[in-house]
Amino acid sequence: MAYETLSVGTEGGVALVTICRPDRLNAINDATLVELTAAFRALRDDGAVRCVILTGGPAKRPAFVAGADIGEMAGQTAAEGRARSLLGQALCDLIENLGKPVIAAVNGVALGGGLELALACHFRLASSDARLGLPEVTLGIIPGFGGTQRLPRAIGLGPALELLTSGRHADAAEAHRLGLVNQVYPPDQLLPEARKLAAKIAGNGPVAVRLALEAALAGRSQPLAEGLRLEATLFGLISATHDTQEGLKAFLEKRPPQYRGS
C-alpha cells in the first residue's frame, strides 16, 4: 500500500521502514502511528520478510524520531490522551512481538515516542551523533507508549528513573554504556551496518529465529524454571521441522542450508 509518512522497501528478506516527516524531524503523529501499524502488520504476514530495519528519513538535522507531534497533543482530553497512549502501546507491542527481529537504526535524535519506538525493537544501533531520552516530564506529561515499562527493563531501574524524572538526553556513548544501544557507528556507516546484521539474521532459520525471540521475550516475565520449561517445549517442537533437519544435514554435508520457514 502507499504511505504518506513512511517508505517501505524489501530486499533479500530484509525490509527497511523509514519514517518520513522531514519538516517535523520525523515526529510521529496519529497518522504515522496508523501507517506504522499497517506496515508492520503487513511485514509480519509477509513470509519473504525475515528481518526489519526501522529508521528515520533525512531531515533538517539528524533525526530518528524527534518525539510525538506536540501540536496534536496540546489540549487533549483525558479520554483522548488515553486513546492515543493505547494506540502507541499497541504499535510497540506489535513490533516487539512481530516474530521477526526488528533493528532500530537510530540515526539522530530519538526522544519521547521516538525512543519508545526504538525500545520496542529487538536491537538498537546508533549513529555517533544520536541523542536518546524521554523528556516528557519537562512538558508536564509522562511517556505513554511504554517507555516507563521498557526503559527499566532495558537499562535497570536506577538509570531509567534518573532519565525518566530528569528528562535529560543521553548521547550515543552514554547510551552504549547503559546498554540502551547495542553498537555505535559513524553516521555514514550506521545503515550499512544495520543491513549487514539484518542480512546475517535473514540467512538463519526463520522458525528458529522466531522461537528464540519468543522464548527470550516470554522468559522475562516468568521464573527461571518456567522459562526453561518453555525453552524445552519449543526445542522439542522445532526438532520436528523441515528447517531443523535441513540445517543439521547441511552442516554435516558442509553446504549452505536451504531454509523454507517450516
C-alpha 147/C-alpha 159 separation (Å) is 13
CA angle 164/165/166 to nearest 5° reads 100
Written as tens digits, the pLDDT of the chain (262 aa) is 789 999 999 999 999 999 999 999 999 999 999 999 999 999 999 999 999 999 999 988 999 999 988 888 888 899 998 999 999 999 999 999 999 999 999 999 999 999 999 999 999 999 999 999 999 999 999 999 999 999 999 999 999 999 999 999 999 999 999 999 999 999 999 999 999 999 999 999 999 999 999 999 999 989 999 999 999 999 999 999 999 999 999 999 999 999 988 8
Q: Residues 181, 172: contact at Cβ < 8 Å?
A: yes
So what's the pLDDT on residue 73?
82
Beta strands 170-171 and 131-133, pairing class: antiparallel
Asked if 99 and 210 touch (Cβ cutoff 8 Å), the reply is: yes
> What is d(CA 97, CA 57) in angstroms, rounded to the nearest whole number?
24
Which residue shows C-alpha cell 535529560?
168
Range 6-202 classified under CATH 3.90.226.10: yes
Cell numbers found for residue 123:
536491537
Cα separation values, 179 from 22, 159, 227, Å: 29, 11, 23
- Of 2, 4, 11, 1, which Cα lies nearest the Cα of 191? 11
Burial class (CB in 10 A: 0-12, 13-18, 19+), 4: exposed
> 236, exposed or middle or buried, with CB in 10 Å at 0-12, 13-18, 19+?
exposed
**Residue 2: per-residue pLDDT:** 85
What predicted TM-score, i.e. pTM, was given to this entire model?
0.95
Listed by start position, the domains of the chain span: 6-202, 206-252
- State how far the Cα of 159 lies from the Cα of 172, in Å rounded to an integer: 15
Comparing CA positions, the residue from 129, 124, 127, 104 lying closest to residue 180 is: 124
pLDDT for the residue 71: 80
For residues 135 and 65, give the distance between their C-alpha atoms in angstroms, rounded to a whole number.
Answer: 13
Which residues are identified as catalytic?
116, 136
Angle at which helices 113-120 and 78-96 pack, to 10 degrees?
A: 30
Distance of CA 213 to the CA centre of its chain: 13
